[in-house]
Amino acid sequence: MFSFHKYQGTGNDFIMIDDRNLQFPAHNHQLIQTMCDRRFGVGADGLILIQNTKGFDFRMIYFNANGFEGSMCGNGGRCAVAYAKTLQIFENKTYFLACDGEHNAFIEGQNIHLQMKNVVEIETNPNFYFLDTGSPHYVEWVENLEKYEVFEKGKNIRYNDRFNEKGTNVNFVEKINEKTIAIRTYERGVEDETYACGTGATACAMVASMTKKMPSPIDVKVLGGDLSVSFEVQNNQFSNVFLIGKAQKTFEGFFENNMNL
C-alpha cells in the first residue's frame, strides 16, 4: 500500500509520492502504469517521485503513464515544487535536480515559476520547427486550432521517419494576438493529446518569439487553462526561461496493490 497525493497543473495531472526513504519500487513499470490508468488505478498523465539528493533541495523523478521514466515534464516540475513545499523541504525558493539537470523555482502567490533549460538551437524546416526544452518538441503553426485533428496528425508525426523510435512530442500552435498563443499537444509516453504540456508551451513560446517576433512574456492558452513563458533572447538563443502557472493539489489517498504487481 502506497500513500500518494494527486496534483494538477493546467489539467496535466500527476501522482506525487514522497520517496525520500527510497521505499517505492521504481523499477516496477507495470505497477506505475496501473497506478496511472484511469480505470484500474488512480489515473494520471504521469507519476513523480520526490527523493533526497546531495547538493539540492530534492530530486524529481518523472515516469510517463506507460510506466517508464520520461524526459523533463514542465507542468510536472511545477507540481513537484508545489508538493515539495507541503513537505517543508523549502520555503519560497528551491533548487532541485531533474533528468535534464538543475532547476531553480520560486512561488509567487498561486503561481509556480519554474526555470527551464536554455535553448541555443532551433531546427527550422519548411513546415515545422524542432527543439529540445528538456523534452523534444515538434512545433507547427496551424489555423482553426480548435477543430484541428490533433490526435491523428500528432500520432503520425510522433513516429515518422524524421523522429523514428525515439519519437517526439507534437505541438500545433495558433497566434491569438500580439501577446498570446494557443497550443494543443500530442504527448509521447501518454500517447494521446493532453490538457497541457509545460515543455511544449515553452517550445511554442520560443518559436513564436523567433518567427512572429512576439515579446516576453508570452501567454499560452492550453486546453486545461493558462500558462505564461518568460525569457531573454538574443540571436534566437533563449536564456533565463521560466514556465509560470498554477499547480494545485486535488486529493490524496492510498493505493493498495492487490494485483500483485
Domain membership of residue 260 (yes or no) is no
Q: Is the full-model pTM beyond 0.85?
A: yes
The string of pLDDT tens digits covering residues 195-204 is 999 999 999 9
Would you say residue 153 lies in a domain? Answer: yes
Strand partners, 200: none
Same domain, 241 and 151: yes
CATH of the domain at 157: 3.10.310.10
Q: Is residue 60 part of a domain?
A: yes
Residue 261 lies in a domain: no
Whether 112 and 129 share a structural domain:
no
In a domain, 53, yes or no: yes
Cα-based distances in Å from 220 to 35, 97, 197, 244 = 30, 26, 11, 10
- 171 with 238, same domain: the answer is yes
The series of mean pLDDT values per 10 residues for the chain, 261 residues long, is 95 97 95 95 96 98 95 96 98 96 96 97 96 96 97 94 89 98 95 95 98 97 98 96 98 85 66
Domain match, 52 and 33 both: yes
Range of the domain at 129: 123-245
Clarify whether residues 63 and 147 are in a common domain: no
Q: Specify if 222 maps to a domain.
A: yes
Catalytic residues: 73, 197
179 and 101 in a common domain: no
Distance of CA 165 to the CA centre of its chain: 21
67 & 166 share domain? no
User: Nearest-CA neighbor of 117 among 80, 158, 71, 54?
Assistant: 71
Question: What pLDDT does 259 receive?
Answer: 65
pLDDT on residue 189? 86
Please name which of 256, 220, 154 lies closest in space to residue 12, comparing C-alpha atoms.
220
At 222, phi and psi to the nearest 5? -120, 170
Q: With respect to residue 6, please indicate whether it lies within any of the assigned structural domains.
A: yes
Give the pLDDT confidence score for residue 24 in this predicted structure: 95
* 44 within 8 A of 35, measured Cβ to Cβ: yes
pLDDT at 164: 81
Chain segment 68-105, per-residue pLDDT in tens? 999 999 999 999 999 999 999 999 999 999 999 999 99
Q: Report pLDDT for 261.
A: 66
Same domain, 48 and 95: yes
Question: What pLDDT does residue 112 have?
Answer: 98
